[in-house]
Amino acid sequence: MPDFKKTYDFPGGEILLFDKELEWTSFDVVNKIRYNLCQMMRIKKLKVGHAGTLDPLATGLVLLCTGKATKKIEELQLGEKEYIATLKIGATTPSFDLETEEDSQADFSHVTRESFEKVLPQFIGNIEQVPPVFSAVKVKGKRAFDYARNGEDVKLKAKTIVIRSIEIESFNLPEVKLKVVCGKGTYIRSLARDIGEALNCGAYLTGLIRTRIGDYKIEDAFKVDFFLENLNLNETN
């Protein structure tokens, strides 16, 4: 569990671990922390940035860097990620998650734990993955989700990503829970889509928790409100 025994030097540089709330964006976390730290320290500006976006419908670990530590953001983004992903088998959505309504359902009675395990090896290693159209990938100067939400067709190119491992945490059809360890740029929503296609019945993401980035773990992360409420227990510079 995280604690407040240390004294923070935010301008000098801190790496802060937060457990992001559902429906918050990563920038919501940055903005709230930066605003409150500036108020507490009575300063006008403080550099604060995050080391890797987490979707609003996902929860879990977000790394924030303050002050001089913002120079470490690029390095931190390269850290291996670990996720707990919950998939619904036998249905699809346009966004590959709960942002949009189901647009198809299919029979999944042929899917067993054994057949599920058989498709997983094709998604491990260096693989080509097409990002979701409901994503922040830029296409002709606009975000892909801007096209998608306007009902416009947009084609995204496949990118090479690395998935280290996929383990089944629980198997209770139509729900399957996976632990995924992967590199930078991996879309777990796209992985859910691709697994569904390999099973010939579709699948989409119903829950996602990021549990690790490099050596940083969710167990050591603060809830944002708890952090701010208890920050007065420490000196700030």
CB 53 within 8 A of CB 62: no
CB 233 within 8 A of CB 116: no
Catalytic residue, candidates 3, 9, 28, 55: 55
Residue 103 annotated to the active site: no
In angstroms, the CA 189 to CA 135 distance is 10
In sequence order, the β-bridge partners of residue 36 are: none
DSSP string over 14-55 = EEEEEEEPTT--HHHHHHHHHHHHHHHHT-S---EEESS---
Give the tokens for residue 133: 């159209």
In angstroms, the CA 105 to CA 107 distance is 7
- Centre a 10 Å sphere on the Cβ of residue 190 and count the other Cβ atoms it contains: 20
Q: Is 26 exposed, middle or buried (0-12, 13-18, 19+ CB in 10 A)?
A: buried
SS3 85: strand
Catalytically annotated residues: 55
